[in-house]
Amino acid sequence: MDIGLPSSGNDAPREACGIVGAYLPGSVGVEAAEVAFFGIFALQHRGQESAGIAVGDGRALRSYTNVGLVSQVFRQEDIDRLPGHVAIGHTRYSTTGSSSPLNAQPILSASPTIEIALAHNGNVINAVAQRDKLLEETGAAFKTTTDSEVIAHLLAWSPEQTWEGRAAHLHRRLEGAYSLVIATKDALVAMRDPHGVRPLCLGRYGAGWVVASESAALDHVGAQFLREIDAGETVVIDRSGLRSIPCSVPDARRAHCVFEPIYFARPDSVLEGRLAHGSRERMGQMLARRYPVEADIVIPVPDSGTPAAVGYAKESGIPLEFGLIKNRYVGRTFIEPTQHFRELGVRNKFNPLPEMLTGKRVVLVDDSIVRGTTTPRVIGLLRSGGAREVHLRVCAPPIRHPCHFGVDMATESEFVASGRTVDEVRDTVGADSLAYLTVEQLHEAVSGDSSGAGYCDACFTGRYPIPVQLQLDKFALERPIAQAD
């Protein structure tokens, strides 16, 4: 990933969120909030702005949220104050609405007929219109500036009183991406949009159940991965057991985000039946077959480029070395760097190993390039460490279009590949050579089908599964509040 710096903002695409839900009857012997905590802890890579947990104990819902990393938000006493057999958890990166305590999730919504807590991963592209319509229809009070609250109110204030009806009502009203976990005082509901853009999976925990954005979170809490929740499917878990409600939009185009296997998901997660690590290795093998180069060593941009670098090295026979050491404890900081530390730039994140690099021809493997602000600095680090040549190989095809379904990337004009040929990008980043996988090669590596059927690749092709405005505003829901002031 073309990683950004603390002084210049993060250049990487940012995922929307990680979500977890647990239904654990008393016989399991573990509090649902504890499972939710360790689940979102395992999904910290999907969002670092805020975290929260909501629980139901059969009588009422209660929640706790705050800004910060999961380990910063929760102490043991916070978990102890959240007893109950139903819990949902959320860790957030904002794609609609600003980063603030107000917008931390789970979101609570109460109507005359039901109270729910909701956690959302994705992005709804018609949220403004739906909020305005809800205000006219119900008078529901909006306390946040997120599309997630629109979803929560649509469910709580739905004219339908069954989960079959609520799900169908939601699918009719919303456009965009939404994987959801929902808690009532005594039930857990999981839901995926009809396109299946963002991931969601189901696991068994003794006599209970766990759902999560990624199967790796199930592993971390000791749940057995059963399957992925299907596009458009709703799963309801209560004292009667588990029941599945099939998608009410049978003709919806399946559009699983192809950036999940490229970068977002943990390498130990299963996506569409395939381990992400294996998909990334195959991307590296494809790069080596299609874009070989004479070199002495293969080096990944850690950590996201490592599986592909392994694949490149295996296929090419060129030794794999770790010529860049990553500071694995770099997180969010609110300390403003001085000019001295701004000039140090990428060394805040990486440090080269001259003993590995001196005089070597290097193949540098990365998962993607977005704005292209950091890749030149990484290549500069390798050259300062003694590399004689740097040949860049990138898994993701050139990114030229923004994502509107839960990934905060950049605007079209900010992408380094916009309006540039591959050779021009190569000159911009300072590599001796540059090669990307094509869209077809990427799909072949991910699914074995070069057509890309069932995946969304709009960030490369501009072919969106749902019609969208050319530029959507992540702060659009805040405008009416600002104008009212």
Q: What is the pLDDT of residue 332?
A: 52
Average pLDDT, the chain: 90
pLDDT of residue 469: 63
Lowest mean pLDDT among 63-72, 171-180, 181-190, 401-410: 401-410
Cα 69 to its chain centre, rounded Å, is 15
Pick 342 or 166 by higher pLDDT: 166
Q: What is the 3-state secondary structure (H, E, C) of 64-92?
A: EEEECCHHHHCCHHHHHCCCCCEEEEEEE
Using pLDDT thresholds of 50, 70 and 90, give the confidence band for residue 152. very high
Q: Is the pLDDT of residue 382 over 60?
A: yes
The answer to whether the bond into 367 is cis (omega within 30° of 0) is no
Residue 354 DSSP SS3: helix
User: Can you read off the two tokens belonging to residue 268?
Assistant: 């130990």
Does the pLDDT at position 476 exceed 70? Answer: no
User: pLDDT at residue 119 above 60?
Assistant: yes
The predicted pLDDT at position 329 comes to 67
pLDDT digits (tens, 9 = 90+) for 197-219: 999 999 999 999 999 999 999 99
Q: pLDDT at position 462, please?
A: 93
Top pLDDT among 459 and 13 is at 459
Asked whether the predicted pLDDT for residue 98 surpasses 60, the reply is no
Predicted local confidence at residue 15, as pLDDT = 54
What letter would DSSP give residue 479? H
What would the mean pLDDT of 149-177 be, rounded to a whole number?
Answer: 96
Residue 467: the pLDDT is 83
Q: What is the pLDDT of residue 12?
A: 57
Q: Enumerate the active-site residues.
A: 17
Average pLDDT over residues 418-438: 97
Partners of 122 in the β-ladder = 178
The C-alpha atoms of residue 60 and residue 58 are separated, in whole angstroms, by 6
Name the pLDDT band for 250 (thresholds 50, 70, 90).
Answer: confident
Rounded Cα distance between 45 and 25, Å, is 29
pLDDT above 70: residue 473: no
29 pLDDT above the threshold of 90? no
Helix (H, G, I), strand (E, B) or coil at 23: strand
Which of the four pLDDT bands, split at 50, 70 and 90, describes residue 341?
Answer: low
Q: What integer is the mean pLDDT of 377-393?
A: 97
Q: pLDDT at residue 1 above 50?
A: no
| 413: confidence class by pLDDT, cuts 50, 70, 90 | confident
| Residue with more model confidence, 409 or 270 | 270
Q: What is the arithmetic mean of pLDDT over 162-168?
A: 98
Q: Can you give the pLDDT at residue 450? A: 96
Whether the per-residue pLDDT at 89 is higher than 60: the answer is: yes
How crowded is the C-beta side of 325, counted as CA atoms within 13 Å? 9
Res 349: pLDDT = 84
pLDDT of 95 over the 60 cut: no
pLDDT for the residue numbered 433: 98
Query: What pLDDT, on the 0 to 100 scale, is given for residue 11?
Result: 59
Rounded CA gap, 11 and 298, in Å?
A: 23
C-alpha distances in angstroms, 92 versus 214, 323, 456?
A: 15, 32, 22
Lowest mean pLDDT among 3-12, 167-176, 287-296: 3-12
Given a cut of 70, whether residue 282 has pLDDT beyond it is yes
> Which helix (H) or strand (E) segment is 180 a member of?
strand 176-183
Residue 468: band (very low, low, confident or very high) from pLDDT cuts 50, 70, 90: confident
